[in-house]
Amino acid sequence: MAKPNFKLVKSSLPSPEDVLEAKLPNGITVLARSNFNSPSVSFGGYLPAGAIFESDEKLGLADFVAASLMRGTQTRTFDEIYNELESVGASMGFDSGVHNTNFGGRALVEDLPLLLQLLAESLQTPVFPADEIERLRTQLLTGLALRAQDTAEMADLIFEQMLYRKHPYGRPTDGFVETIQSIARSEMKEFHRLHYGPRGLVIAIVGAIHPKKAVEEVERYLGGWQVPGQKEAPPLPPLRLSARQRNVTTR
Domains with residue ranges and CATH for the chain = 20-226 (3.30.830.10)
Q: Where are the alpha helices (DSSP H) in the chain?
A: 61-68, 78-87, 112-124, 130-148, 151-163, 177-182, 185-195, 211-222, 243-249
pTM: 0.88
Residue 201 burial by Cβ neighbours in a 10 Å radius (0-12, 13-18, 19+): buried
* Residue of 6, 3, 97, 112 lying closest to 52 (CA atoms): 97
Query: What residues have CB less than 8 Å from 238, skipping those under 6 apart?
Result: none
* Contact predicate 167/239, CB 8 Å: yes
Q: Tell me the pLDDT tens digit for each residue of 72-89.
A: 999 999 999 999 999 999
Q: Tell me the pLDDT tens digit for each residue of 18-64.
A: 899 999 999 999 999 999 999 999 999 999 999 999 999 999 999 99
- 163 by DSSP, 3-state: which? helix
